[in-house]
Amino acid sequence: MNSLERNLLALQLKEADRVPVAPAILTRAIRVAGVKQIAYHTDPAVLAGAQVLHCERYDFDGVYISSDNVIMYEALGGRIVFPDEDSYPFWTDPLLENSRGLARLAVPDPGCAGRMPMVIEAARLAMEQVGRRRFVLANIDSGPFQLASTLMGMDRAMALLLDAQEEMTKILAFCAEVAMAYGRGMAGSGCHGIQFGESTAGLLGRELYETQVWPHDCRLVRELQRTGVKVFLHVCGDSSRILDLMADTGADCLEIDSQVDMTWAKRTVGGKVALKGNVNTSSFIDKSTEELYDECRQITLAGKPGGGFILSAGCETPAAAGDDAVRAIRRAADAFGTY
């Protein structure tokens, strides 16, 4: 059984030969490849090459095609800055203050807007290189609320969400359209899965997420699935209060962070959606290799019963993680993740 088959069975809530291992790797892949950040974030061959190289070196089951968190912002006309050739890009000025500003924005064409075509091409190259053997997951960056927070700033987005919900609904509907357009373009790469993040959704509380954000996430998931891809929803931090709602979006897989108890998550939603996670990212640096290995063991044993589980860190694996630490997660799956 190859890595692609292993992932697809997990996403069907079935047991494979073992638990698939597919950590999210970004800056560490750049360092291993020995390339500059600016090249990685602007050249599709460099991006795909770095991710495939890292995946093959550690024999992981999934390739993670991802750039930065300002792809959509830039495609909508925002100005981004690379402080130097080896720094992550960041956004400059907000593009929105309120819903009236939507009149100045248009849903971008992913075939030509900003660096959207670059990331899509990177996913296509990864599929060309390893897509018959390994699962290729492409990140389209942001869900509707996360994009709104980038376009406006988190403080303003939260203020509108609390005090001007009708206005915020218009903004979230537009942001969903942007994410859907990017997702449809990404699906054209042939990638197996598409990931989007509502990274701060866990901070909203259940009522705000359910009434204001969740309907737009559901719409985005449905639209992406119409293209034939598997959909992964990522939320950072403690998403316990909204985990059942995340499952009810219809996503194929939920990426959960280390603050969520895997045993509880598996019991709560494991029968309806695959789970991916959730080794503490700090453990890759703060713990000894054997302590990290034991943590991976515990999470594997909690997540694997009945299938529907992919072992990963809870968020991006730290760039500073040592070689032995990175290999520990695969060792644990080999030792304790077999069915």
Q: Would you call 59 helix, strand, or coil by DSSP? A: coil
pTM of the predicted model, to two decimals? 0.97
Note the CATH architecture for domain 3-336: Alpha-Beta Barrel (3.20)
Whose tokens are 């359910």? That residue is 210
Omega of the bond prior to 98 within 30 degrees of 0, cis? no
On the 0-12 / 13-18 / 19+ scale of CB atoms within 10 A, 184 is middle
Per-residue pLDDT tens listing for the chain (339 residues): 999 999 999 999 999 999 999 999 999 999 999 999 999 999 999 999 999 999 999 999 999 999 999 999 999 999 999 999 999 999 899 999 999 999 999 999 999 999 999 999 999 999 999 999 999 999 998 999 999 999 999 999 999 999 999 999 999 999 999 999 999 999 999 999 999 999 888 889 899 999 999 999 999 999 999 999 999 999 999 999 999 999 999 999 999 999 999 999 999 999 999 999 999 999 999 999 999 999 999 999 999 999 999 999 999 999 999 999 999 999 999 999 999
DSSP 318: P
User: What are the sequence ranges of the domains in the chain?
Assistant: 3-336
Q: Which residues make Cβ contacts (< 8 Å) with residue 235, sequence separation at least 6?
A: 197, 198, 199, 201, 202, 242, 246, 254, 255, 256, 257
Residue 209 backbone dihedrals phi, psi, to 5 degrees = -65, -45
State the Cα–Cα distance between residues 66 and 59, nearest whole angstrom: 19
Q: Distance (Å, rounded) from C-alpha 182 to C-alpha 179?
A: 5
